[in-house]
Amino acid sequence: MADQTVPLGNSLGAAYPSSGTFLEWLHSWVVTVDHKKLGILYIAYGLFFLLVAGAEAMVIRYQLAFPNNHFVSPEAYNQIFTMHGTTMVFLAGMPIIFGLANYMVPLMIGARDMAFPRLNAFSFWLTAFGGLLLYFSFIGGFGLYGMGNAPDAGWFAYAPLTGSAFSPGHSMDYWALALIVAGFGTLGTAINIVATTLSMRCRGMTLTRMPLFVWLMLIVSAMTLLTITPLTAAQVMLLLDRYLGAHFFDAQAGGAPMLWIHFFWIFGHPEVYVLVLPAFAIANEVIPVFSRKAIFGYPAMVAASAGIGFVSFTVWAHHMFTVGMSWVGNTFFVLSTMVVGIFTGIKIFNWIATMWGGSIVFATPMLFCIAFVFQMLLAGLTGIMLSVAPWDWQLHNSYFLIAHFHYVLVGVIVIAIFAAFYYWYPKATGRMLSERLGKWHFWLFVIGFHVTFDTMHFVGILGMPRSIYTYQADRGWNTLNLVISLGAFLQGIAVAIFVWNLIYSYFRGQEAGSDPWDAWTLEWATPSPPPAYNFATEPEVRSRRPLWDLKHPSDPDWKYEA
């Protein structure tokens, strides 16, 4: 079968015209409503906070590396682990994911921009300023004229610890208000993605031909609309408690701290899937391209994603087994949690089936995706373990749970995000990331990850509680904690290599061309980086792999797709 070289007429121009002075360049970014620039802003912002939260993790691990350590004070330690969790979820994970969606969704569906470009800019800046407001608490927690104090009640901010009696000053006010501001930004972006996906697809792109990345971002955005709202409502109630003397969460005045826990986890558990489904979305794009095969079981993948989205709203109280629920409640949430395993199992089988028999190219994005599939299985298994109520009773407040959580958030989500960086960086910058540095990054990170989080399961089983400041030398946790910390520093080195790769390759990287991976979705039919208008003429697609159809006109996919 011969190659087909297909010029796309005027549709594809060069990248942005050269900019003028630095101020003009800066101004163009501040006033932009271009989805690609906003996507890059989101990602750069998220990456910055990923580094900040990573630095906080390093402090935590140094503090716990040795028994009776006093590297930081107990007060500072509480602030650091609270900010680490809050930052990773709200200021690093969400912005990077929505940044990817911002950049890729219009390109993948053949649109010029998002449905509401100005709302898109407004959403990003809200998110950005919300994050800055949260970090301003380090210096402004008691007001501009006082000493600062950052939130220190854990990222879940359980009542009554967040009440004014136990958290005086403004620390929790900063937490609530900053996240409300950032949350409205997230809602705006979610509305934008839903509207864009449903109303701006190019000709021929039916729902059954949409790239799986777009499908999953649609599901994630719909979930976001449902998950952020209960959190925002609870935060408003918390502020009413703290400012106006309401008693929603004050047990002594007839309120219910349990109400906060319900509200938080009705947000919190779907939020995990809001973060992890985009990781699945990334794998859905990368694995087929580097396996040189179409994705296996496209309809099943869509159905499983929608199933995960639905079921994720029925499992929140598995975070609450230890608060003491009725056996009916325990049984329901055990079973509903286990159902998630069916959908994720379908996905894992389909990724493996996609790779099966393919001509696999072990480039860095694919390496990260293979690690992702492996990690997904492990994280799922530890999740199934914790879904069993008696097991959870024993280990919920131990480092076993922290290990499981990081198996998901780092082992699945962060690793998939790394894959996305290596896969789409050439599209956004026109330069390839260094494969050599990428492989150093991959191996150091994966090894460091397992050294840290595999070991963390054991220290949890041995009874080390979560969130403790330090521990006595006779508890039998010394060596394990040192190993965990060494693994964390190895991950830190890997991330430093990654950041250096981003910077180095931007200036010295190999020219990428429009389609360096020989891929099949529409974003690769534009120059790298794409022009402001994406496509000069509206593309028309006839299958799920429009570029395959162009490259192989005698053997197009549309013949096979019902």
Subset of 188-227 contacting another protein (CB under 8 A) = 203
Minimum CB–partner distance for residue 58 and another protein (Å) = 28
Using an 8 Å Cβ cutoff, are 81 and 467 in contact? yes
Within residues 119-148, the interface with another protein by CB under 8 A covers: 119, 121-122, 125-126, 128-130, 132-133, 136, 140, 143-144
Alpha helices in 433-477 (DSSP H): 435-461
Alpha helices in 312-395 (DSSP H): 327-355, 364-387, 389-395
The Cα-based distances of 559 to 108, 288, 521, 555 in angstroms read 21, 19, 17, 8
Question: How far is it, in rounded angstroms, from Cα 469 to Cα 467?
Answer: 6
Sign of the CA dihedral with 162 first, then 90, 410, and 330 last: positive
Minimum CB–partner distance for residue 397 and another protein (Å) = 18
Question: How far is it, in rounded angstroms, from Cα 201 to Cα 189?
Answer: 17
* DSSP bridge partners of 511: 431
Position among 84, 170, 319, 347 found at the interface with another protein (CB under 8 A):
170
Q: Which is nearer to another protein, 143 or 245 (CB)?
A: 143
112 binds another protein (CB under 8 A): yes
Within residues 511-530, the interface with another protein by CB under 8 A covers: 514-515, 518, 525-527
Residues ≥6 apart with Cβ < 8 Å to 305: 212, 215, 216, 219, 277, 280, 343, 347
Minimum CB–partner distance for residue 99 and another protein (Å) = 16
Q: Which is nearer to another protein, 171 or 336 (CB)?
A: 171
Q: Which residue stretch of 9-17, 247-255, 264-272, 311-319 sits at the interface with another protein (rule: CB under 8 A)? A: 9-17
Site string for another protein, 365-404 (x = CB under 8 A): ----------------------------------------
349 binds another protein (CB under 8 A): no
Site string for another protein, 28-67 (x = CB under 8 A): x-xxxxx---------------------------------
Coil, strand or helix at 544:
coil
Position among 147, 166, 324, 555 found at the interface with another protein (CB under 8 A):
555
359 binds another protein (CB under 8 A): yes
Alpha helices in 430-520 (DSSP H): 435-461, 478-508
User: Exposure of 51 by Cβ count < 10 A (0-12 exposed, 13-18 middle, 19+ buried)?
Assistant: middle
Q: Which is nearer to another protein, 67 or 297 (CB)?
A: 297
Cβ neighbours around 122 below 10 Å, total: 17
358 binds another protein (CB under 8 A): yes
300 binds another protein (CB under 8 A): no
Minimum CB–partner distance for residue 548 and another protein (Å) = 8
8 binds another protein (CB under 8 A): yes
Position among 20, 345, 357, 465 found at the interface with another protein (CB under 8 A):
357
Instruction: Give the containing element (helix H, strand E) for 143.
Output: none
Instruction: Give the containing element (helix H, strand E) for 231.
Output: helix 212-244
Interface with another protein (CB under 8 A), residue total 83
6 binds another protein (CB under 8 A): yes
553 binds another protein (CB under 8 A): yes
- For 427, the token pair is 């599209």
Coil, strand or helix at 283:
helix
Within residues 259-298, the interface with another protein by CB under 8 A covers: 292-294, 296
352 binds another protein (CB under 8 A): no
Q: Please spell the DSSP secondary structure of 39-75, one letter per residue.
A: HHHHHHHHHHHHHHHHHHHHHHHHHHHSTT--SS-HH
Query: Which residue type does 175 have?
Result: W
75 binds another protein (CB under 8 A): no
342 binds another protein (CB under 8 A): no
Minimum CB–partner distance for residue 137 and another protein (Å) = 8
Q: Which is nearer to another protein, 112 or 262 (CB)?
A: 112
Q: Which residue stretch of 263-271, 404-412, 489-497, 550-558 sits at the interface with another protein (rule: CB under 8 A)? A: 550-558
Position among 40, 177, 366, 414 found at the interface with another protein (CB under 8 A):
177
Residue pointed to by tokens 């826990």: 261
Using an 8 Å Cβ cutoff, are 52 and 90 in contact? no
Is the backbone peptide bond immediately before 117 cis, with ω within 30 degrees of 0? no
466 binds another protein (CB under 8 A): no
Q: Which is nearer to another protein, 116 or 156 (CB)?
A: 116
12 binds another protein (CB under 8 A): yes
Site string for another protein, 230-259 (x = CB under 8 A): -------------x----------------
Position among 262, 439, 450, 542 found at the interface with another protein (CB under 8 A):
542
Minimum CB–partner distance for residue 292 and another protein (Å) = 5
- For 30, the token pair is 């501040």
299 binds another protein (CB under 8 A): no
Length, in residues, of the chain: 562
Query: Which residue type does 304 have?
Result: A
Coil, strand or helix at 465:
strand
Using an 8 Å Cβ cutoff, are 86 and 175 in contact? yes
Within residues 404-463, the interface with another protein by CB under 8 A covers: 461
Question: How far is it, in rounded angstroms, from Cα 459 to Cα 66?
Answer: 14
Q: Which is nearer to another protein, 508 or 559 (CB)?
A: 559
Using an 8 Å Cβ cutoff, are 349 and 378 in contact? no
Minimum CB–partner distance for residue 173 and another protein (Å) = 5
